[in-house]
Each structure stands twice: as C-alpha cells, then as structure tokens.
Structure 1
C-alpha cells in the first residue's frame, strides 16, 4: 500500500507544472553542455559550459530530492524553505543563462562566415547556433519556473506542488 501511494506521488510530481519544467530544464541543459563538450571550444565558451553543467547538476539534485519527497532532510534549505530554495535556484539559473546566451550569440555571429557549402575547413557555426538555441530554451524553462514559483510564493504557499 505504501509503495503504491509513493508511486502515485511520484507520478503527480512528474506531471505537475513544476515537474514538467524541471524535466525541460534537465533536457535542454544537457543538450547545451553535450553540444559544446562534444566539439571544439575555447575562451568564453568555458563560462557557458560552466553554467550549463552547474545548473544541470543542481537541477537534477533538486528534482530527485523533490521526487523522492526528501526535502525535509536537506539542512537549512529544506522543509518550509524548499519553495524559496527552488525559487532562488531558478532566479540564479535564469540570470546566469542570460550572459551565456549572449556569449553563444556572439560566437555564432563570429563564425557565420564559414556557413557556406564551399567552405571546407572546420566550421563551428552550426554547433554554436545549436548551443545558442539550447541556452535560450534553458533560460526560458527557468524563467517559467521563476514566474510559477514567484506566484506560489506571493499566494503564501510553502510547497512546490
């Protein structure tokens, strides 16, 4: 009986607005860092990779802690503070993704010259463009979470769901 209730709670969590946005953040973040890490990168791209991997790992941790309903075990940040913790995480992610998007757009534009069929050397244009799209999608997913979490917080809610 207890196991069935736990499974139903997990499905409810995954199907909630919060669960869906977390899954999107994880998928888009992974898409970003895999696109960059699988190809040649240098300079300011390291910042983008840092942001993508950091928030991918943190988002995974928050997702699984909530999914397993273990937020009360997190010292200082869990329990009644869990909504605020998630909201602060989402705000930080959205704010750091903005300059990451700028870096990717800059790098994409700088490599637009090689986006010709006649160009036979290594061209990072499409890779950087793909990474820029993933960065934008990730930022949008975090912004949705910020709006949703902010609305819940303003209503006086203490929980994510």
Structure 2
C-alpha cells in the first residue's frame, strides 16, 4: 500500500490552528455563543429577545463554519470568499458580529434592569431576571471575544498577511 503523505501535514495544520490565537478565540466564541442562545432558548422570552436569539444563533453557526473550514484547511473551497480573501472574510465576519452583538447586549442589559424588581425577597412569581443577567454576561463576553478576533485579523491585515494563521 502506498503511504499517505498528507496525514502528517493535515495533523500539523490542525494543531497549528488550535494553538493559534485565532483558534483559541474561535473556540471561545463558539462556547460563549452556544451558552448565550441556550440560556435564552431554554426559557420563555418575548419581543426584542428574538433579535438576540437571531444574532446568537446566526453568528454561532457562521463561526462554527469558519472554524471548521479553517481547521481543516478547506477555505479554498469557498467560492468568492476563500483562498487569498479568507483573512478579509474572517475580519468582515468578526466586525459584523461585533456590530450586531453590541445592540443585542444592550437589549439584554435593558431587560435585566427592567426585571430587577424580581430580586425583592417577597416577590414570589416567575421572573426572568437571572436569565437576562446570565445572557447579558454571555453576550458581553461573546462580543469581547469577537472584538479580540477583530484586533487579531486587523493586525495581520495591516502587516500585509493574507492567511489567518
């Protein structure tokens, strides 16, 4: 049987990406994003929280796709956005995530403050204060993680690099 020459290269690429700053931040974004939308989706929510769920799920799925494409080194398979444009694609994704996570975080903070009356001892009805507080923390941390990857991508782009790792 002929030897498989690509296996060590693929394994090295995967390990290189997982050890890189972007790989660690992407894993953090995936975990925090999942925490956010699961926290909200597991509870009763209304009106403006639909926007937060949309942002959380949309960017969780996109980040997952970017993560696996970069992890497997298959970014060249993406038409128009892959190959030499992959760094710009990642940067645009991260900027859009920050731009949409900021208002989502604001909505969650507003809802948290609006439901703060539930913290009174005598209040015995169902209250979403703790849910909104937890979701606010997840959204803030997620936005910060995307902001870190914006800084990482922008610094690589300013140095004239075209690859994400």
| 1:10 counterpart = 2:14 | yes
Pick aligned residue for 1:67 from 68, 71, 84: 71
For the residues of structure 2 that align with 1:86 and 1:8, how far apart are their CA atoms? 21
| Gaps in structure 2 of 5+ consecutive residues | none
Report 1:69-148 matches (<5 A): 69-148=73-152
**1:115 Cα deviation from its structure 2 partner:** 1.3
**1:17 Cα deviation from its structure 2 partner:** 0.2
**Greater Cα shift, 14-23 or 3-12:** 3-12
* Offset from partner CA, 1:77-97 (integer Å, 9 cap, x none): 000000000000000000000
For the residues of structure 1 that align with 2:164 and 2:137, how far apart are their CA atoms? 28
Aligned residues: 161
For the residues of structure 2 that align with 1:20 and 1:41, how far apart are their CA atoms? 31
| 1:151 counterpart = 2:155 | yes
Report runs of 4+ in structure 1 exceeding 4 Å deviation: none
| Gaps in structure 1 of 5+ consecutive residues | none
Pick aligned residue for 1:51 from 51, 55, 65: 55
Task: Give the TM-score, by structure 1 length.
Answer: 0.98
**1:118 Cα deviation from its structure 2 partner:** 2.6
**1:136 Cα deviation from its structure 2 partner:** 0.2
* Offset from partner CA, 1:108-156 (integer Å, 9 cap, x none): 0010001133321111001000000000000000000001100100100
Instruction: Provide the secondary structure at the position in 2 that maps to 1:160.
Output: coil
**1:2 Cα deviation from its structure 2 partner:** 2.4
Task: Give the TM-score, by structure 2 length.
Answer: 0.95
For the residues of structure 1 that align with 2:105 and 2:25, how far apart are their CA atoms? 19
For the residues of structure 2 that align with 1:41 and 1:16, how far apart are their CA atoms? 37
**1:11 Cα deviation from its structure 2 partner:** 1.2
C-alpha RMSD over aligned residues: 0.8
Pick aligned residue for 2:43 from 33, 39, 43: 39
